[in-house]
Structure 1
């Protein structure tokens, strides 16, 4: 936990309400996100019990599995879910836009928007990931057929689960993570995973403090769990008898319909409070202005969505059960680059986030006291424009002479530290030499060089492009690192997809 977040948590305890740790919203919010609140049956490995799905507060659709241990009912649930999710995805594939590439010499096309899925907490993301893994290898024919939409749903759920691991992506978002990115509560990080308690701190009801609202939310009879786990007391006293009643009414259509209706009522009562909290959270996030670089990260989601849609349309296969060594290394490198870029972008967008880096010495705020915008360096083969400015700060300057600094106000401009001189009254004078962001001439255009009196933030954090690493092809690596022996490859290719049990039933990896 960072110093400022720890301070914000202490202030939340003292004030009785969550404290903001961001001045802007650091994630994209779709105009019509698809909210999905799942429930899984306790004691069964990710066996779906119910889900509440919809793209608007008044567009709820309840899906239930009356007997979660029944495989046919589970895959019927997946088919019903596919009938909602897949049309939602297709609705974002109508219009494309041209994106210039290769410095404007060529263009590529992507969809103008992408779908966004919202779930209550990280466990909801895990539920979708496992549901996708258990369905994407299914077949619509053969001994254990499923509806043709089920494997397609599994592939898309896997796509969204993988995007959720990508730093800065907003394709699949856990509401608790989105809220704690912008507010600090007076409770632990584990307690912040409980959506009712978290919103109790952020937006307590009138007359209650955040702690009182969170304590009230811990009562499952008042605020049912946000899923996918259910309350054990509800399971034992209410749910189990209702499922038993449904199973025992197998030969009586009237009794079976009544039992189904009772199950539907019970599960809706469990899910509706979380459904309302989800849209309440959406409203709180939407009230924050979006950060300047949020749209650029959403463009990355649009690119990923377009690319995978084209892969599916071209008849591409499902994602592998596990990555090979080279593919895993490439993916890890890509995620590390995205994480570094995301951290810098958040700091550039938000003074509160940048304050964390000011505490660690990675940044400081200073006033421009002197400026020489016409300075030209003629010590090289040709003269180049190299203005110098002097800034004064009261903050510690821990960067050495020769270090390169950047300012969020002019992110394409570099500033080399020339002198660092302690001054009176605890102040420090820093002389910076500027390069870039001023055109190619020997005269700086107006506004490209900081003027006297400007107050700017300077940091070692850079949002410059980071080139991708070079990785060998799988066939060029030893068998210990992704190039398996030919015999092993042949054996793997000959094994039927989904084989796992002795009776020919494809193994169901619900867990």
Structure 2
């Protein structure tokens, strides 16, 4: 936990309500996100019990597995979920746009929109990932055939689960993580995983503090868990008898229909409170203005969606159960690059996030007191425009002379530290030499050079391009790393869904 978040948590306890740790929204919110609230049977390996799914608050569809240990009913659940998810995905493939590549010498096309899935918590993402693994290798023919939509569902769920690991992606979001990215509560991180308690802190009912609202939310009788795990008392005293009644009514159609209706009502009552909390969370997030670089990251999600849709259309193979050595290394490298870029972009978009870097000495804020926008450096082979500015700051400046700094106000411009001079009253004078972001001439365009009186932030964090790493072709994987990967799906078609 950073110093500022710890301070915000302490202020939340004192104020009785969660405190903002962001001034803008750092994720994309779809106009019609598909909300999925899953439940799994306790004691079974990701056995689906029920799910409430829909793209609008008044458009919830309940999926129920009356016998979660029954293989056929599980795959019927998957087929029913596919009947909702796949048309939702196809609805985002109606229009595409041209994107310039190779410095404008060529174009590629991507979809104008991309789908977005929302689940209550990280455990919901795990549920979808495991459901995708259990279904993407199934076959519509042969032994244990399934509906043709089931393996396609599994491939798309795996796609979304992999995007959820990508820093800055908004394709699949856990509501608890989305909310704690923007608010700090007075409870622990583990308690923040409980959606009712988290929203109790962020948006407590009238007359209650956040702590009181969170304490009330801990009662599973009035605030059921947000899934996929269920409350043990509910399992033992209500769910188990309902499932048993359904099983015992196998030979009586009327009794079986009555038992199913009873089970369906029981599960709907468990899921409905979380459904309402999910859309309440969406409303809170939508009230925040989006960060300037959110759209750029969403464009990356649209690129990924377009690429995988084209892969599926071309009858490409499903994702392997395990990546080969080269694929794993390349994926790790992509995630590390994305994490670095995401951290910088959040800081550039949000003064509250940048404040954390100011505390660690990676950034400082100062006022421009002197500026020489027309300075020419003629020490090289040819004269070049190199303006200089002087800032005065009261913050500690821990960067050395010669360091290169960047300003969120002019991200394309570099600033080299030329002088650091301690001044009176704990102030520091910083002289910077500017390059880039001023055109190719010897006269800086208006606004490209900071003016006297302008208050700016400079940081060592760069939002520039990060070059990709170099990896050998998969077929050249050395024997020390397992050798070339198998061409088949690593035996995935024989994986059982126990």
Give your verdict on TM over 0.5: yes
Is the 1:377–1:384 contact (alpha carbons within 8 Å) kept by the matching residues of 2?
A: yes
Is the 2:127–2:228 contact (alpha carbons within 8 Å) kept by the matching residues of 1?
A: yes
Report the Cα distance in structure 2 between the residues aligned to 1:93 and 1:333, rounded to whole angstroms: 29
Report the Cα distance in structure 1 between the residues aligned to 2:394 and 2:113, rounded to whole angstroms: 45
Is the 1:393–1:428 contact (alpha carbons within 8 Å) kept by the matching residues of 2?
A: yes
The secondary structure found in structure 2 opposite 1:498 is helix
1:164-213 per-residue CA deviation (whole Å, 9 max, x = no partner) reads 00000000000000000000000000000000000000000001000000
Unaligned runs of 5+ in 1: 500-505
Report the Cα distance in structure 1 between the residues aligned to 2:219 and 2:489, rounded to whole angstroms: 53
1:426-482 per-residue CA deviation (whole Å, 9 max, x = no partner) reads 100000000000000000000000000000000000000000000111222311224
Is the 2:185–2:202 contact (alpha carbons within 8 Å) kept by the matching residues of 1?
A: yes
Moved more, 32-41 or 469-478: 469-478
Report the Cα distance in structure 2 between the residues aligned to 1:493 and 1:303, rounded to whole angstroms: 26
Report the Cα distance in structure 2 between the residues aligned to 1:498 and 1:98, rounded to whole angstroms: 38
The secondary structure found in structure 2 opposite 1:434 is strand
Unaligned runs of 5+ in 2: none
What is residue 503 of structure 1 aligned with on the other side?
none
Is the 1:405–1:417 contact (alpha carbons within 8 Å) kept by the matching residues of 2?
A: yes
Is the 1:385–1:442 contact (alpha carbons within 8 Å) kept by the matching residues of 2?
A: yes
The secondary structure found in structure 1 opposite 2:94 is coil
What is residue 27 of structure 2 aligned with on the other side?
27
Report the Cα distance in structure 1 between the residues aligned to 2:458 and 2:439, rounded to whole angstroms: 21
What is residue 69 of structure 2 aligned with on the other side?
69
What is residue 188 of structure 1 aligned with on the other side?
188
What is residue 8 of structure 1 aligned with on the other side?
8
Name the CA shift for 1:494/1:391 in 2 (closer, same or farther; >3 Å). closer
Is the 1:110–1:302 contact (alpha carbons within 8 Å) kept by the matching residues of 2?
A: yes
What is residue 361 of structure 2 aligned with on the other side?
361
Is the 1:474–1:482 contact (alpha carbons within 8 Å) kept by the matching residues of 2?
A: no
Matches within 5 A, 1:492-511: 497-499=492-494, 506-508=495-497
What is residue 502 of structure 1 aligned with on the other side?
none
Provide the TM-score with structure 1 as the length reference: 0.96
1:400-422 per-residue CA deviation (whole Å, 9 max, x = no partner) reads 00000000000000000000000
Is the 2:321–2:492 contact (alpha carbons within 8 Å) kept by the matching residues of 1?
A: no
Is the 1:140–1:148 contact (alpha carbons within 8 Å) kept by the matching residues of 2?
A: yes
1:135-183 per-residue CA deviation (whole Å, 9 max, x = no partner) reads 0000000010000000000000000000000000000000000000000
What is residue 211 of structure 1 aligned with on the other side?
211
Is the 1:358–1:364 contact (alpha carbons within 8 Å) kept by the matching residues of 2?
A: yes
The secondary structure found in structure 2 opposite 1:400 is coil
What is residue 443 of structure 1 aligned with on the other side?
443
Report the Cα distance in structure 2 between the residues aligned to 1:195 and 1:83, rounded to whole angstroms: 28
Matches within 5 A, 1:268-417: 268-417=268-417
Q: Which runs of 4+ in 1 moved over 3 A?
A: 492-497
Q: What is the Cα deviation at residue 105 of structure 1?
A: 1.3
Report the Cα distance in structure 1 between the residues aligned to 2:489 and 2:192, rounded to whole angstroms: 47
What is residue 234 of structure 1 aligned with on the other side?
234
Q: What is the Cα deviation at residue 264 of structure 1?
A: 0.3
Report the Cα distance in structure 2 between the residues aligned to 1:309 and 1:130, rounded to whole angstroms: 21
Report the Cα distance in structure 2 between the residues aligned to 1:475 and 1:83, rounded to whole angstroms: 38
Report the Cα distance in structure 2 between the residues aligned to 1:111 and 1:478, rounded to whole angstroms: 38
The secondary structure found in structure 1 opposite 2:391 is strand
Is the 1:326–1:482 contact (alpha carbons within 8 Å) kept by the matching residues of 2?
A: no
Report the Cα distance in structure 1 between the residues aligned to 2:489 and 2:169, rounded to whole angstroms: 37
Is the 2:321–2:489 contact (alpha carbons within 8 Å) kept by the matching residues of 1?
A: no
Matches within 5 A, 1:48-127: 48-127=48-127
The secondary structure found in structure 1 opposite 2:365 is strand
Report the Cα distance in structure 2 between the residues aligned to 1:104 and 1:377, rounded to whole angstroms: 32
Is the 1:40–1:228 contact (alpha carbons within 8 Å) kept by the matching residues of 2?
A: yes
Name the CA shift for 1:394/1:496 in 2 (closer, same or farther; >3 Å). closer
Name the CA shift for 1:149/1:493 in 2 (closer, same or farther; >3 Å). closer
1:206-265 per-residue CA deviation (whole Å, 9 max, x = no partner) reads 010000000000000010000000000000000000000000000000000000000000
Q: What is the Cα deviation at residue 496 of structure 1?
A: 5.7
Report the Cα distance in structure 1 between the residues aligned to 2:317 and 2:149, rounded to whole angstroms: 15
Q: What is the Cα deviation at residue 106 of structure 1?
A: 1.1
The secondary structure found in structure 1 opposite 2:368 is strand
